[in-house]
Chains A and B, each alone.
Chain A
């Protein structure tokens, strides 16, 4: 109470708060707390096509939303023109086919749709993806699948640096090679790279598994080789088959990388004890 009074005196509570989140909090009795606003009930048999050539990013995303609102469950987008932030925040099941390439931040924060991109994607594709599948036929830029939490993110070509940085779940699959610092601070989930991997792979990873089919330029701090077992192989074979992909030298010959868990954050010391050591 004393602290609250003090903070009032310091002028920290003088602003007038408004808006739903400031007035009400989660209640299990409210139905809206269990559904996403902007998630639509769609029919996969209802198909729509549109040309994105002359549309802005906002117009494209609003067009997708409008079609979903009308119940279209299969949408084909032509000529996206490498524009940024396309197909973001889709929170329901949807078959979205993109005939062309996306710029930066495409398909971010999606939760459920199956997205097939026939071209290439720029930086940060499917950032914070929660569920669903995003499949890219060509190459992808850096920070591919950053902080992904679930779903399958697949690039059949090459991927840039820092793929799956802060990955918290889901699966990332790369048909070609990937750049440096991939899997940096990875926390959960799986990453499969069929080609070569750049330096500092899995640097400071907390958990999760990385499989590499080609050469690894260098492992990051606390990233160590793990032992491939039958479960790894079965899982990988099944997963790759889903996307028509194959490990060039067979999944058994892939290298498995896991967290060594020797970093300071894994010890059991109290802060005062750490001070003594440091």
Chain B
């Protein structure tokens, strides 16, 4: 089933960590397997933020060597970053197996991502100037607590609670997806794509990589590919309504925008609250009300509808 949520503060920032935690916790019944956040903080010059993991949460419960492997893999990440000319400005342990690095790096991000992900167990969750992508097993309160997300200041955010259907219950298959290799682009999705393999094979031939077998990842890579060819976000999303097959409602965020798209059947829910200074979207109104408990006007976007808001 899955639950998705998005919010954007227009012309200001807010405690998006706390807000998105509340929204996703109220959608817990739509998917208890994993929870993910794409939070957009304030960029600090050209400093890149890299969120990555070197093991799955499940891996940490098995095997005698996993703790040593995590240390080895992280050391290898550090070594390869240095090789590529990246300077680690700050390195933080988010959990035992997931990390947050701020980097001084002006090189090719795709090359960096490929080189880092060549390390066994390593996956870059996000690479961007404002975007920080956090996802793990458990509900929103668990993940938010483990990664200390409350108090995270920013302009906009996406979130996802996952009911695993066609792929595994692990971080790799959890949403949101970073639109590799584009900085600051992320996607959450509720639904099912029926032309996943056709689309994936086409995009792989064009040089894109997939980290999971989750159909939602296709949307992120598809949009990245379109933007790589020069389309703007709204055009890319409008094309997706025709070119992606299946039932879907998805949200996408870039450095300064938040967008939503709904398939032509309108088979997956989305409730929208729009005011001059705040936009809130969620699979259920109850999520928006976790941020706005007072009476507000909301509505369902229609079939085939694409909307984009700037922060």
Contacts and interface: CB of A to CB of B under 8 A. Distances in A.
B297 interface: yes
Given A84-B286, A103-B285, A120 B299 contact: yes
Interface string A83-111: 11000000000000000110110000000
B300 A139 contact: yes
Interface residues of B, number: 19
A82 B289 contact: yes
Interface in A173-226: 179-181, 198-199
A81 interface: yes
A157 interface: yes
B286 A157 contact: no
A157 B298 CA distance: 11
Query: Chain A, interface size: which category?
Result: 20 to 34
Given A84-B286, A180-B264, A142 B295 contact: no
B118 to A, nearest CB: 45
Interface stretch (B146-154, B203-211, B265-273): B265-273
Nearest to B297: A138
Contacts of A179: 266, 300, 302-303
B293 A141 contact: no
Interface in B265-309: 265-267, 269, 271, 284-286, 288-289, 293, 295, 297-300, 302-303
A81 to B, nearest CB: 6
A101 B295 contact: yes
Nearest to A118: B295
B264 to A, nearest CB: 7
Contacts of A139: 297-300
By secondary structure, the B interface counts as loop
Nearest to B266: A161
Interface in B166-187: none
A180 B301 CA distance: 12
A158 B300 CA distance: 9
A101 B299 CA distance: 11
A120 B285 contact: yes
A138 B298 CA distance: 9
Contacts of B267: 161
A123 B264 contact: no
A222 B295 CA distance: 42
A142 B300 CA distance: 8
B295 A119 contact: yes
A104 B284 contact: yes
A160 B300 contact: yes
A81 B300 contact: no
A112 B298 CA distance: 28
Contacts of B264: 180
A122 interface: yes
Interface string A136-156: 001101100000000000000
Contact of A160 (B286, B288, B302): B302
Contact of A161 (B285, B286, B288, B302): B302
B19 to A, nearest CB: 17
B303 A198 contact: yes
Contact of B286 (A83, A120, A138): A83
A139 B266 CA distance: 16
A103 B266 CA distance: 18
A3 to B, nearest CB: 39
Given A81-B286, A180-B265, A120 B302 contact: no
A180 B303 contact: yes
Given A81-B293, A160-B266, A161-B266, A103 B299 contact: no
Contacts of B284: 82, 84, 103-104, 122
Contact of A120 (B265, B269, B298): B298
B248 to A, nearest CB: 14
A128 B303 CA distance: 24
A122 B269 CA distance: 9
Contacts of B303: 161, 179-180, 198-199
26 contacts: A81-B286, A81-B289, A82-B285, A82-B289, A83-B286, A100-B295, A101-B298, A103-B286, A104-B284, A119-B295, A120-B298, A138-B297, A139-B297, A139-B300, A141-B269, A142-B300, A158-B300, A160-B300, A161-B302, A179-B266, A179-B300, A180-B264, A180-B266, A180-B302, A198-B302, A198-B303
The 5 closest A-B pairs by CB, nearest first: A82-B285, A161-B266, A160-B300, A139-B299, A180-B303
Interface of A: 81-84, 100-101, 103-104, 119-120, 122-123, 138-139, 141-142, 157-158, 160-162, 179-181, 198-199
Given A82-B285, A122-B284, A141-B269, 12 more contacts: A83-B286, A84-B286, A100-B295, A101-B298, A103-B285, A122-B269, A141-B271, A141-B300, A142-B266, A180-B264, A180-B265, A181-B265
